[in-house]
Amino acid sequence: MKEIFDIVSESCSKKVTNAYSTSFSLATKMLAPSIRQDIYNIYGFVRLADEIVDTFHDYDKETLFKRFEVDLDHALNDKISLNPILNSFQKTVHQYNIDKELIESFMLSMRLDLTKSVYRTEEEYRQYIYGSADVVGLMCLKVFVNGDQEKYEKLKESAMSLGSAFQKVNFLRDLKADYEGLSRTYFPNTNLEALDEAAKQNIIDEIERDFKKGYEGILMLPTEAKFGVFMAYRYYRRLLKKLRRTPAMEIKNTRIRVPNYEKFGLLTRSYVKYQLNLVK
């Protein structure tokens, strides 16, 4: 029996979530206890892969990522891993029958971050977002619908749109870090050296379209997931509102954030809206 090891593994995934993302961990706490841990398990996996390609600059990232790929493959095939993050992730994958294609697409986008720094075409841009964000939303959706394939198919497009919106907000917020620290440019046909208000507005309009489609799916989510996802949606909408108000050149030179006191205020107001059945 490896029950104790599974418990330890899941506590590691929860700890990773809480340590790396105040906003995501706050939203996850709003999910029903029956599904909360599985979202921690998914986040722990995607965060670990992202850390390898984004922050381990003093190490051979290519070698570390290859090792991670091999360990992931063994975890999925053997249904166990001595890496506690991968052990908890494979448990969720098998429990909810998460499609292997989603995992492979995610890993492909992460691998691109090792070698690719500029996305020049819409096709490249959308392929990266699909793998880095949309599929993560679909993994979570598998948990939210608890195996109901009909509901999954009905909500699939909305979940992808919401994942895209979240990722694009991150791209806009992190322009400075991505461009100066990692030499990456995700938005195609956008000159970050001379980012102007028109270019910024085009990006924001695209995000708003994604949010609109994503919100339609939130309304149809099971009760266990609805408030947690709504909370994440409200947080990212608040972040986008701040970005809209920030001059384009300032976005390029600083990182816009939502302070913790605002996050908790947002939680309170979101809860009131939800309890009054105003989420519709």
Asked if residue 74 belongs to a domain, the reply is yes
Give domain status of residue 272, yes or no.
no
> So what's the pLDDT on residue 276?
46
Q: Which domain holds residue 52?
A: 3-258
Give the integer Cα–Cα distance in Å for 131 and 102.
8
The per-residue pLDDT for 117 is 80
Q: Mind listing the pLDDT tens digit for each residue in 87-144? A: 999 999 999 999 999 999 999 999 999 998 888 888 998 999 999 999 999 999 999 9
CATH code of the domain in which 49 resides: 1.10.600.10
238 inside domain: yes
The mean of the pLDDT values for the chain is: 88
pLDDT-derived band at 149 (thresholds 50, 70, 90) equals very high
DSSP letter string, 101-155? HHHHHHHHHHHHHHH--B--SHHHHHHHHIIIIIHHHHHHHHHHTTT-HHHHHHH
- Give pTM, 2 decimals: 0.90
Place of tokens 């700890």: 15
Question: Would residue 280 count as lying in a domain?
Answer: no
In a domain, 279, yes or no: no
Element at 18 (helix H, strand E): helix 3-20
Q: What CA–CA distances, in Å, run from 197 to 167, 190, 191?
A: 20, 12, 12
Q: What is the mean pLDDT of residues 210-221?
A: 96
Predicted local distance difference test score (pLDDT) of residue 139: 97
Residue that has been written with the tokens 């697409």 in this structure: 105
247 in any annotated domain: yes
Would you place residue 181 in the very low, low, confident or very high pLDDT band (cuts 50, 70, 90)?
low
Q: Are 134 and 143 spatial neighbours (Cβ–Cβ below 8 Å)?
A: no
For the chain, what is the domain count? 1
The answer to whether residue 271 sits within a structural domain is: no
Residue 82 has pLDDT above 90, yes or no: yes
Q: Residue 51 — pLDDT band, cuts 50, 70, 90?
A: very high
| Residue 60, in any domain of the structure | yes
Give the up-direction half-sphere exposure of residue 47: CA atoms within 13 A in the CB hemisphere. 20
Task: Give Cα separations from 156 to 21, 144, 234, 258 (angstroms).
Answer: 25, 11, 20, 29
